[in-house]
Structure 1
């Protein structure tokens, strides 16, 4: 049997036994899916590449130390590692991702309306800044789901897998996030619910 046709578990065993190509095939097998999911969350190619590399450094360290025990669940395990690294990045940065269009511009910066007055533009920019600030004040689990759904364009099923919760929990967190944003917009911060 060709190495490419082996299961994830077989390739991991080969790698742990000293056969480097086992990991190379696994990386090749999942690199597009993993990189894309990281990129959708961070919207920055070089940052996505850094997190992708950091993910596999953690994978290698875990495999080499003999601590890997996710029988048959290699991809969800790697996705969880990448997801945690993205969350760590945003916790360090304390900011929401920028909404970038295909040309690499922040959509909030390049949205132009034909007859937009300077005053209207200032109000719109302030609204976007306020929204970003409000998102930052959400509880982490709500902020995470909101970012993945709206900035990462992930389905609730994908969010549930990555965050290791049920789809109903992911939906509930989104509902709480939207309710809390609405309350913040109307100045009812005392009624914020942790959800």
Structure 2
């Protein structure tokens, strides 16, 4: 399969090229989404959404850039999953409207807040480029590409910064510095 020529044909609207691309990538996308959701029905729906978005947005993929088509497809799939999570977030109720469980435990909330503060301080102890990459990835849910563009570096560099920073945080957790 010559992927580049299939993409170019699909961009011109050739249905057979779309069909070949979908047949090739369908197993990868559906397995990826099933691993994320652990729900076959939901992963099937998200897989279909992914390919609908792929078909609608194929013109935006630039075959001349270094970005692999597979990366682009999997990014669409990941974004479909994230969109699903955002849509399925429960509405926030005011304190008066909430049904507080009888086992409501203030102590757990205080401990969780204390741990979050210690984690924040540990994050601040990392080198600035590692801390910033971790915050952007996990707090702002940016992609490696978006973070790399922001810092004018390669996505692999961002991935390395995140990995090294997380390794340092885990070591601190194991030594009990965050608990």
TM-score (normalizing by structure 2): 0.54
Larger Rg: 2
1:43 maps onto 2:38 in alignment? yes
1:1-20 alignment runs, 5 A limit: 5=1, 7-20=2-15
Q: Would you say the 8 A contact 1:52–1:82 is kept in 2?
A: yes
Change (3 A) 1:177 1:54: farther
Map of 2:138 onto structure 1: 142
Map of 1:33 onto structure 2: 28
Change (3 A) 1:142 1:176: farther
Between the aligned partners of 1:141 and 1:25, the Cα distance in structure 2 is 33
Higher-RCO chain (CA-CA 8 Å, sequence separation at least 6): 1
CA RMSD of aligned residues (A): 4.2
Residues 74-118 of structure 1: CA deviation (Å, up to 9, x unaligned):
1110011111121222233349xxxxxxxxxxxxxxxxxxxxxxx
Change (3 A) 1:39 1:69: same
1:59-74 alignment runs, 5 A limit: 59-63=54-58, 66-71=59-64, 73-74=68-69
The counterpart of 1:93, out of the listed 78, 88, 95, is: 88
Change (3 A) 1:14 1:87: same
Displacement after TM superposition at 1:177 (Å): 7.2
Between the aligned partners of 2:50 and 2:166, the Cα distance in structure 1 is 27
Q: Would you say the 8 A contact 1:142–1:177 is kept in 2?
A: no
TM-score (normalizing by structure 1): 0.50
Unaligned runs of 5+ in 1: 96-126, 146-158, 187-195
Between the aligned partners of 2:163 and 2:37, the Cα distance in structure 1 is 22
Between the aligned partners of 1:174 and 1:92, the Cα distance in structure 2 is 29
